[in-house]
Copies of this chain bind each other. A is one copy, B any other.
Amino acid sequence: MKCRSYEDFFKNFANKTKFRIIMSLKDKPMSVNELARKIGEEQSKVSHNLAKLARCSILGVKQKGKQRIYSLNKETVIPMLRMVEKHVEKHCNTRCNK
């Protein structure tokens, strides 16, 4: 199953685990276990989430020995995040927690 709609695309940003994965990959590409360790979640969970992210081309993958290295599609994602950041700054008042 491919990412077949805008909604599907956005779902990948609308979830904490996926979002943390995205954020982690801003620095550098990583293998599944690396990521799992970095965000403190178990392999299977990370793997499931990676699959969905990759299906929507938010991430890319390449094999490297036994490992799979996931990398962020920066072309799309970085500008997107920047926009939302700007939006939140502007509209989310000082205490954004509640």
Contacts and interface: CB of A to CB of B under 8 A. Distances in A.
A11 B79 CA distance: 18
Interface residues of A, number: 34
Interface in A34-53: none
A83 B78 CA distance: 11
Contacts of A90: 57
A87 to B, nearest CB: 4
A69 to B, nearest CB: 19
A15 to B, nearest CB: 6
A9 B88 contact: yes
A16 B6 CA distance: 9
B4 A19 contact: no
